[in-house]
């Protein structure tokens, strides 16, 4: 399965501020439907960048609560089709939460994390509490991570159109990065990569190039993160859910600095 950054070159016409026109070449990221099949059971079709697919498969299963340990994923087979990709996942039946295998009735768009859920209970399921951590992350460390993240995004440097999700140590040093056209799939890939490395996620934090919605909070909580920092501020629901499970949220403040949200919003 591909682990590179799939892209293509397109021709365009640049219109600058002086109304001048010139031909340009532009690198575009690849986006394709990825069908996830668990033990022959179709689960979801997600729009994503077809790279780091094994990380995506493992991260999706963990972040969606379908499995709760990386060891439960026994095998991943990726098959490229004319329309996209099939990811056939062999999962230990004894470690599978079949209640989370409700097929999505519509495809998951690259910008959406809840497409196709069938009722409100599916939209807001119970979440584990964040693990207490002795690691303290300073606002300066979060700000540093935001500042250096672009240097760790080769696909975005080429295309200027994909999200990044990065795991950082307590000092703000970026350790692992995954990119995707979808913010949720970028986080899934990061979760999968970290699960494969057995890295203690409570000793660092996640920084993302996206807004913070409740779906990202849900994935972060299931993955065991204690702090999630995003470019834009969280929604009220995201902050409320994060407060209930003990997940700290932070957002970048322009032109510099960060805002740390300690708990639920004030009414």
Q: Could you give the number of structural domains in the chain?
A: 2
Asked if 148 and 141 count as a contact pair (C-beta separation under 8 A), the reply is no
Out of 98, 123, 148, a domain closes at 123
177 or 17: whose pLDDT is higher? Answer: 177
| Full residue range of the structural domain in which residue 211 is found | 139-261
Domain holding 64: CATH number? 3.10.20.10
Residues belonging to the active site: 112
Confidence check: pLDDT of 213 > 50: yes
Residue 205's pLDDT band (cuts 50, 70, 90): very high
Residues 166 and 235 in one domain: yes
Confidence check: pLDDT of 204 > 60: yes
Residue 267's pLDDT band (cuts 50, 70, 90): very low
* Structure confidence by residue, pLDDT tens digits, 101-138: 766 544 455 555 545 444 444 556 778 888 776 678 99
Residue 209 lies in a domain: yes
Calpha distance 194→59 (Å, rounded)? 9
Residue 133 lies in a domain: no
Q: Say what the pLDDT of residue 98 is.
A: 86
Averaged pLDDT, 222-248:
91
Q: Say what the pLDDT of residue 265 is.
A: 56
89 or 17: whose pLDDT is higher? Answer: 89
Q: Say what the pLDDT of residue 105 is.
A: 45
Taking the model in full, what pTM does it have? 0.86
Averaged pLDDT, 47-52:
91
Residues 154 and 243 in one domain: yes
HEC string of the chain equals CCCCCCEEEEEEEEECCCCCEEEEEEEEECCEEEEEEECCEEEEEEEECCCCHHHHHHHHHHHCCCCCCHHHEEEEEEEECCCCEEEEEEECHHHCCHHHCCCCCCCECCCCCCCCCCCHHHHCCCCCCCCCCCCCCCHHHHHHHHHHHHHHCHHHHHHCCCEEEEEEECCCCEEEEEEECCHHHHHHHHHHHHHHHCCCHHHEEEEECCCECHHHHHHHHHHCCCEEEECCCECHHHHHHHHHHCCEEEEECCCCCEEEECCCCCC
Residue 15 lies in a domain: no
236 or 195: whose pLDDT is higher? Answer: 195
Confidence check: pLDDT of 11 > 90: no
Residue 156 lies in a domain: yes
Cis peptide before 49 (omega within 30 of 0): no
Confidence check: pLDDT of 32 > 70: yes
Residue 186 lies in a domain: yes
């Amino acid at each position: 399965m591909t682990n590179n950054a799939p892209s293509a070159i397109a021709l365009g016409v640049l219109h600058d501020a002086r109304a001048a026109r010139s031909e340009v070449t532009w690198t575009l990221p690849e986006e394709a439907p990825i069908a996830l099949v668990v033990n022959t059971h179709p689960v979801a079709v997600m729009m994503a960048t077809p790279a780091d697919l094994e990380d995506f498969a493992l991260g999706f299963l963990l972040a969606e609560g379908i499995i709760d340990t990386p060891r439960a994923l026994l095998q991943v087979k990726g098959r490229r089709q004319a329309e996209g990709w099939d990811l056939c996942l062999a999962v230990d039946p004894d470690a599978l939460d079949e209640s989370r295998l409700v097929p999505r009735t519509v495809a998951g768009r690259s910008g959406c994390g809840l497409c196709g859920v069938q009722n409100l209970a599916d939209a807001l399921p119970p979440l584990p509490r964040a693990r207490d951590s002795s690691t303290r992350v300073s606002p300066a460390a979060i700000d540093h991570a935001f500042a250096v993240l672009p240097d760790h995004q080769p696909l975005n440097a080429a295309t200027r159109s994909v999200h990044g999700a990065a795991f950082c140590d307590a000092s703000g040093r970026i350790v692992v990065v995954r990119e995707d056209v979808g913010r949720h799939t970028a986080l899934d890939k990061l979760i999968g990569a970290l699960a494969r490395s057995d890295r203690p996620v409570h000793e660092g934090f996640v920084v993302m190039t996206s807004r913070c919605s409740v779906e990202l909070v849900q994935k972060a909580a299931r993955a065991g993160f204690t702090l999630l920092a995003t470019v834009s501020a969280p929604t009220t629901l995201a902050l409320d859910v994060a407060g209930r499970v003990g997940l700290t949220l932070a957002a970048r403040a322009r032109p510099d600095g960060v805002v740390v949200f300690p708990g639920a919003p004030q009414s």
